Amino acid sequence: MITSSGECIDRLPVLIKRETQDLSVRKAYDAIFWNLPEKYVWKETPPKPESLRNYEAHHLGYNAIQLMTVMENASFSYRVTNIFAISSRYVIDTPE
């Protein structure tokens, strides 16, 4: 992709299933296409909740709670390094 300033940058495809990071080469992640040998079949379906879950924390002095997804951050901030991975520290040959 070429930005408005003329800089050429790469982005990971949205539907990629696996990515790696080699810090000896660069800080960016590389997307890896991995074709599953067969589709995973769930052993059991989780039960559907009967009602909305309300978590009250007013008695603790809170009037709002921010729910954030599990993502790897370079630091504690909103600057996410990879929105598709919980951690790049656990690298295996295949995502199985």
Q: Where are the domains of the chain?
A: 1-34+63-90
Whether the per-residue pLDDT at 86 is higher than 70: the answer is no
Q: pLDDT category, 85, cuts 50, 70, 90?
A: low
Q: Which residues pair with 31 in a beta bridge?
A: 19
pTM of the model: 0.26
pLDDT digits (tens, 9 = 90+) for 22-72: 777 766 777 776 677 787 788 888 888 888 877 778 888 888 877 776 666
- Compute the distance between CA of residue 29 and CA of residue 32 in angstroms, rounded to an integer: 10
State residue 53's pLDDT score: 78
Q: 10: burial class by Cβ within 10 Å (0-12, 13-18, 19+)?
A: exposed
More confidently predicted of 57 and 74: 57
